[in-house]
Amino acid sequence: MSQYKLHWISGSPNSWRVLLTLAFKGIEYDSQRINPASWDREGSGFFDLNPRGKVPVIEDGDTIIYESIAIMAYLEAKHPEQPIFGNSADQTGFIWQRIAELMHYTLEPVYELSRLLMRETALDEIDHSKQLVQIISEELTNINAQLANASYLAGNELSAVDIYFYPAIAFLEKMLVLPAATLLNIDFNPINEKLPNLSNWMSEIEKMRGFEDAYPPHWRDEK
């Protein structure tokens, strides 16, 4: 039995980045996959693990860590082999800087638009949805430009920034095929045509060690 027990939901970007971290580092774990359709969150005792009731959560003996970026940092400290947070102070600082930029400026609108499209409510407040599209377009255009000079988001080696961001943009890309997206004049869709550097970066992430093992299983069933 592994020392780790991971509680996660298939397709959750937050869960996915932890799965990618575990796979890339070659860390074994006991999978506690949750089916949200049948999950009795309150009756399951899950709030004893995370009082916010969110995934992912990882158990390591008596240690319980939630919030995906915190889990990634915890696993890095426990398993420094195959480092994802850099090999020097300069690298570590830059990686965390890039993560903070994504966290504060990019992910919130990406997640919000993705949820609106998934729940088929994007057209209920179409002006707001179009505003989100504009913000995301500006952010992704900047990232696409940065990737003209580097293979990955924090240089020429895969790092925690890439693992942190990929699930969010892959989730958004999946939502962009839904009917409502065609009515929002999304100028960065399709990504492979409009943002070629970003698309090439995604292809590189998909070649990383353990990517297939970490891929959301219910998405694979939909292919």
pLDDT for position 40: 87
Q: Residues 83-90: contacts with CB within 8 Å, 24+ apart?
A: 84/21, 84/24, 84/25, 84/158, 84/159, 84/160, 84/163, 85/159, 85/160, 86/154, 86/159
Please state whether the predicted TM-score (pTM) of the whole model is above 0.75. yes
222 pLDDT tier (thresholds 50, 70, 90): low
Cβ contacts of 148 within 8 Å, gap of 6 or more: 197
- pLDDT at residue 141, rounded to an integer: 98
**% of the chain residues with pLDDT over 70:** 98
Last residue in a domain, options 25, 50, 78: 78
Three-state DSSP class for residue 160: helix
For residue 219, pLDDT beyond 90: no
pLDDT confidence band for 42 (50 / 70 / 90): confident
Looking at 53, 78, 103, the residue that finishes a domain is 78
* 83 occurs within a structural domain: no
What pLDDT is recorded for position 223?
Answer: 53
Q: Which pLDDT band, with edges at 50, 70 and 90, does 82 fall under?
A: very high
- Categorize the per-residue pLDDT at 31 as very low, low, confident or very high, splitting at 50, 70 and 90: very high
Range of 20's domain? 4-78
Question: In the predicted model, is pLDDT for residue 39 greater than 60?
Answer: yes
Do you find a cis peptide bond into 179, omega within 30 degrees of 0? Answer: no
Q: State how far the Cα of 204 lies from the Cα of 207, in Å rounded to an integer.
A: 5
Task: Please state the rounded mean pLDDT for residues 213-218.
Answer: 91
Inform me whether the pLDDT recorded for 218 exceeds 90.
Answer: no
CATH number for 72 = 3.40.30.10
- C-alpha 73: how far from chain center: 15
Place of tokens 């995934």: 55
Q: 141 and 42, same structural domain?
A: no
Query: How far is it, in rounded angstroms, from Cα 53 to Cα 95?
Result: 28
188 closest CA partner among 134, 150, 121? 134
105-157 tens-digit pLDDT? 999 999 999 999 999 999 999 999 999 999 999 999 999 999 999 999 999 99
Same domain for 58 and 102, yes or no, is no
Residues 31 and 139 in one domain: no
Predicted confidence (pLDDT) per residue in 176-214, tens digit: 999 999 899 999 999 999 999 999 999 999 999 999 999
- Residue 94: pLDDT band by 50, 70, 90 thresholds? very high
Query: Residue 38: pLDDT above 60?
Result: yes
Number of domains in the chain: 2
Given the structure tokens 């707001």, which residue do they identify? 128
**Are residues 140 and 58 both part of a single domain?**
no
139 neighbors 106 (Cβ within 8 angstroms): yes
Q: What is the pLDDT of residue 2?
A: 78
